[in-house]
Amino acid sequence: MPCLVVVLALAVPRLTTAVLWLFTSWFHGVFEGWLWPLLGFLVAPFTLLWYSAVHNWYGGQWGPWQIAGLVLALLLDFSPASGKRKR
């Protein structure tokens, strides 16, 4: 059972990104090419989702709350605990 929870925790941001990519126009106009979304999907899915949320919800304006959200997303993606979640 704990292994299932770990697998779900790892899959949720990537699954959300895939669903948004396939069924909505959420990422249209956010990135110029395909490289950054692909790297975000593979390496930093929380950061990819937050960056696109700022673009869609706040018109791309970066204020203190948006930057705090970005720092939180980066911490979730690159924290030392993320290596333990992947095992």
What single-letter amino acid sits at 3? C
Please name which of 38, 45, 37, 31 lies closest in space to residue 73, comparing C-alpha atoms: 45
47 within 8 A of 40, measured Cβ to Cβ: yes
List pLDDT tens digits, range 39-84: 999 999 999 999 999 999 999 999 999 999 999 999 988 887 655 5
State the pTM of this model.
Answer: 0.80
pLDDT at 85 over 80: no
Domains in the chain, number: 1
16 within 8 A of 49, measured Cβ to Cβ: yes
Domain that holds residue 52: 2-86
